[in-house]
Amino acid sequence: MVIRGLQPNEAGRVAGQFTQESERILGDNLVGVYLHGSAVMGCFKPEKSDVDLLVVVNEEPTDTVKRAFLDMVVSLNETGPAKGIEMSVVRRGVCKPFVYPTPFELHFSKMHLDWYRSNPENYIAKMKGTDRDLAAHITVIRARGVCLCGAPIEEVFGEVPAEDYMDSLWYDIADAEDDIAEDTMYLTLNLARVLAFQKDGSVLSKKEGGEWGLKNLPEKYHMLLLGALSEYRGETPGYDISAAKEYAGAMLRLIRNNMQPQ
């Protein structure tokens, strides 16, 4: 299946097959399939990236359809990149006007694979609710996403208020000072791209966030940023964890201050 806007790489192959199978399984209930994340930002790496997809439906699928859909996703996940597929299913009614926190009808990522395999009925019954991350995903879709099939992005997704997007981002980084020793690359780059959005409204990838940081943050943080960017490219840098913690604390203070009413 050839879809305009897909790159001829592993992400494009997985996304194309996912779209074809989504059309088959969901039928007339399917509004569209939308690609976001590294695959649309020019920085997809099979060894470090997942394939990020959002499926929009008119109505919540039945449990039988959910089971068939998840069986397809799990099978395709086995042939995909190291981090696999991450996808959510949402109803069109929560996309425009945008609802936050955003309700979802189904979600899958590799971290949930064992749960689904061991107890699919329990998974289907419980894997629905609200997800703050969807504000960030839909912001990326509106700014840089690809419609793989169905209704155009501008028809399906309403504007995500800046305060909802920031709340979504903050939820992801709030514990960065404690967590950066364990996930140095991700949090170093993510903190920079969050501050970039606050400063100039840019919707950036992690790689682009690091590059923005090198141009806009104090020189004392450049070695950390360069190390994170080199790890993102697949290299193995060494980190000064005390410097990383200092960076995380300083960035969180800046971001938090910018979130306060002026």
What pLDDT, on a 0 to 100 scale, did the predictor assign at position 159?
A: 97
Q: How far apart are CA 113 and CA 218, in angstroms?
A: 42
Domain with CATH 3.30.460.10 in the chain: 10-156
Domain 10-156 is found in CATH 3.90.1010.10: no
User: Any residues with CB less than 8 A from the CB of 212 and at least 6 apart, and which?
Assistant: 192, 193, 196, 202, 204
Q: For residues 246-252, give the mean pLDDT.
A: 98
Residue 207's Cβ-side half-sphere holds a number of Cα atoms within 13 Å equal to 16
What's the pTM value of the predicted model, to 2 decimals?
0.93
Q: Is 99 exposed, middle or buried (0-12, 13-18, 19+ CB in 10 A)?
A: middle
140, β-bridge pairs: none
pLDDT per residue as tens digits for the range 55-77: 999 999 999 999 999 999 999 99
What pLDDT, on a 0 to 100 scale, did the predictor assign at position 259?
A: 84
Is a pLDDT exceeding 80 seen at residue 215? yes
Distances (CA, A) of 157 to 40, 120, 153: 17, 30, 6
Which carries the bigger pLDDT value, residue 204 or residue 2?
Answer: 204
3-state DSSP assignment of residue 90: strand
User: Any residues with CB less than 8 A from the CB of 24 and at least 6 apart, and which?
Assistant: none
